[in-house]
Chains A and B, each alone.
Chain A
Amino acid sequence: MFETAIRQLRMAMAMIWGRPINPRNLELLVDDVLKTLEEFGEPGDDVQQLLEGPFADPKDRKEFQNRSLQLTARRLMRVSPYYQKLFATHQVDPDNLTVDDLPKLPTTRKRDLQADPHAFLTKDGQPALTTRTTGTTGTPTEIWISRYEIQLWSALSALSGLLRGEIGPSESFQVNISSRATAAIQMNLDVARLAHARTRILGIIDPEESLTSLATTSDDAPTQMSTYPSYLARLINTARRMGMTRRDFHLKRVISGGEILSPALTQAAIETFGVREVSDTFGMTEVLPVSGRVCSHGHLHLDLNTGHIEVISLDTDQPATPGELGTLVITPYYPYRECMPVFRYDTRDVVRVLPDEPLHCEFAASPGTSAILGKADHLLRLPDRIVTPREILEVYEALPSQPWPARFSAQVVEQHIELTIPEAALTGITRSQVERRFTEAGLDVRIADGSVVSNEEMAHMRPIRADLLETTFAGRK
């Protein structure tokens, strides 16, 4: 107990003084949590406060944010060639930088990272592992991560997972994400190791093979699965085709991220796999370790302990106002990010700012936004409003034809949206019925004569993460 207090004190001191957090110290804290859970069955009092940080009070929050931003900016000024130049150009004084000054600074975008990735590498960073973005929006971006970072992020993630009761020695994880997402995979392995849980890294393999693994009857049957919504959809389709039901699985929870998860798909996962929960999470290679999760009220709550979150207006680069759409701009704080840090990284992920009133969800202690509504480049601008990809996807995936994983193409034609869909989407439903469904949801969507294409053609038009298929000899058979 005294040792644990000293370890917590060491971690707090490192954070206050802006020094690197000793990952080994953090790993020992993870051990302490395991022992606590073994002895008491649950963490002690005030665990929520420990997890959520000083964010319930706006004044405390702002003070923490200012201090963390100054610390991060000071270090970038010292060791990051890209930001040295940028800060000098914009006359940034890291010692006096505050949250209110941020809108005066330009954001960093993916194209900046791609144009000169070496300029983002810090002078004292020790790159150990490279990870590539696995998004579907173009050329992958390569991000270097140090050994310190991977150890730190895994330990932080294990700590928070254990304290929230999401992971533990009795859990067995199946990971179906792209093997190119090396940081995420390494973290999954490390988190499971630290939490004394079991892990199966399978990648995006043939769904039948994944289902066989999920339906294992032995003691190590997966209890949790991490995957993308599009691959989850494939698993659901394949399981149903194979006549598998919830009785064949031991899953308790599906952790989904990287794409938009619709309520229809969530419900299908619950029915097919018998899971209690499908967690919708946010994570992005460029801004690791900042991550987020969607609460039961549909808000996205990002972890304010590890990074600063802004929502900037789509057109003005100024803070978005309540009710307005904007893109998420994230600054991971030092000492959580050290090798290839970014400052005000514009994720291009669109969210809506929530009304300025108290939240009543399970994560209400930390501020939230709407769930991710899509990429900024995929927004459909009608004369009177902007339609987000989520709005279309939610109606589309709720069609009786269950056209999962969702593939469609949408564009604005005159004053309505024209949708291109695959033939499979019209199984058991007519085009006009589909259009009516969209109308009922408040969307003027039309499907033109030539807008129903073959399934193969659609696959080329609209890539999804489930397309990153990896082969195995078992899969080929």
Chain B
Amino acid sequence: MSSELLFEIVVLLIGTSATSLGALWYFQRVRLERPPIGVFNSRDVFIVLTFIIALPLLYLILPGIVLTGFLVLTFTSALYVTFRGVIPPKYLWFLIAGVLGLNIIVAYTLLGATFGLQLYWLLNSVVALCASIGIANLYVQGGMRMRNVAMFAVLLAFYDGIFEFIIPITQRLADRFEGMPLDPSIGFAWGGNNANIGLGDLLIYALFTIAAYKGFGRRGFTVAFPVIIVFGALMPSFAPLVIQSVTRSGIGIVVPAQIFFGPAALVSYLWLARQAPERSMREWYRAQASARQQATETAVGVGSVTKVIAE
């Protein structure tokens, strides 16, 4: 196994695991505000998909400075959503401005040095990780179900296939972001190797993890997480060994990960849905409340026993 492949596997495993587990941790602890009316539904998936198709086209034609402006706006909104309920607004705005500003400065001044490149990836990764966790939670806490996520993943599989092999925009897009501030991906550079995984993929994995957990409980997570690791991280890492067209003679590898993950996500959903009906947010709240009550009763019970023993 080449060091390049090994490095890519490590980066993808860390990226996908951190995003999935981070999203789940956040989902279990933070309640995002939601509008008085509205549930995320299948039509919303198409709307999001429209943006996903349209934005890269825009990114390709925009001048660098405008593209950076766009990314600043996107990440500011995403980070604000993520941390609004966690950090007081007066600190939050400074924090967002600081992280994004530092990212831009590093991208423009330190990329020549190895340390600079690593710092650049570290900052990018933190921003992309937080953004994907927040947005995934916004959608799932807004009513997006695993059914919607599976459908979304399948549509993205088609998108990835088309824009990788028929109209090769994905590769051009990867080139476009290289060295730009706020590259929307988690990645790292080490020993001459450079690997990263895009925000779109990370978002899908975060969505898939928490939608599975919300809809089907612990069983949902135990199905979703291995599927993400295998089909979202390992298979795309090994893909260049089989699919030659994703390797571009010495200038990098761009793997359309959703081609592997989309069908697997659909099959996982169908399998889980056959075992039990998917829970709504209301049912999830109830299950949480009941678990909390049981925990309290157990604690009270234990407390009483301890007291009796002490007496």
Interface residues in chain A, defined as those with a beta carbon under 8 Å from any beta carbon in chain B: 1-5, 8, 29, 32-33, 35-36, 38-41, 43-47, 50, 163
Contacts and interface: CB of A to CB of B under 8 A. Distances in A.
B33 A45 contact: yes
B28 to A, nearest CB: 17
Contact of A39 (B35, B44, B47, B280): B280
B147 to A, nearest CB: 13
B301 to A, nearest CB: 29
Question: How would you classify the secondary structure of chain A's contact residues: helix, strand, loop or mixed?
Answer: helix
B281 interface: yes
A29 B44 contact: no
Interface residues of B, number: 18
Nearest to A6: B47
Contact of A44 (B33, B43, B280): B33
Contact of B38 (A32, A38, A46, A163): A32
B39 interface: yes
A3 B280 contact: no
5 contacts: A3-B43, A5-B38, A32-B39, A40-B34, A44-B37
B298 interface: no
Interface of B: 33-41, 43-44, 47, 142-143, 280-282, 285
B275 to A, nearest CB: 21
A110 B43 CA distance: 50
Given A3-B43, A3-B44, A40-B143, A163 B36 contact: yes
B39 A35 contact: yes
Given A1-B143, A38-B280, A39-B280, A32 B37 contact: yes
A47 B34 CA distance: 10
Contact of B39 (A1, A8, A45): A1
Contact of A36 (B33, B38, B43, B285): B38
A29 B38 CA distance: 9
A41 B43 CA distance: 21
Given A1-B44, A35-B41, A40-B282, 9 more contacts: A1-B41, A32-B38, A39-B39, A39-B143, A40-B280, A43-B37, A44-B35, A45-B33, A163-B36
A400 B85 CA distance: 57
Contacts of A47: 36
Contacts of B43: 2-3
Contacts of A38: 39, 280, 282
A39 B282 contact: yes
A44 B34 CA distance: 5
Contacts of A40: 34, 39, 143, 280-282, 285
B281 A39 contact: yes
A33 B37 contact: yes
A35 B39 CA distance: 7
A80 to B, nearest CB: 34
A33 B35 CA distance: 11
Given A2-B44, A3-B43, A41 B282 contact: yes
Which of A4, A8, A33, A50 has the most chain B CB atoms inside 10 A of its CB? A4
A167 to B, nearest CB: 15
A242 to B, nearest CB: 40
Nearest to A47: B36
A396 to B, nearest CB: 44
Nearest to B282: A41
A35 B42 CA distance: 13
A2 B47 CA distance: 8
B39 A36 contact: yes
A45 B38 CA distance: 11
B134 to A, nearest CB: 16
Contacts of A1: 35, 38-41, 44, 142-143
A29 to B, nearest CB: 7
A354 to B, nearest CB: 29
A262 B196 CA distance: 72
Given A1-B142, A1-B143, A41-B285, A36 B47 contact: no
B282 A50 contact: no
Contacts of A5: 35, 38
A45 to B, nearest CB: 5
Which of A8, A35, A39, A41 has the most chain B CB atoms inside 10 A of its CB? A39
A47 B33 CA distance: 12
Nearest to B46: A2
Contacts of B143: 1, 36, 39-40
B84 to A, nearest CB: 12
A165 to B, nearest CB: 13
Contacts of B142: 1
A33 B43 CA distance: 16
A50 B142 CA distance: 18
B37 A4 contact: yes
A44 B33 CA distance: 7
Nearest to A33: B37
Contacts of A43: 36-37
Contacts of B47: 2
A46 B34 CA distance: 9
A46 B36 CA distance: 6
A11 B204 CA distance: 33
Contacts of B280: 38-40
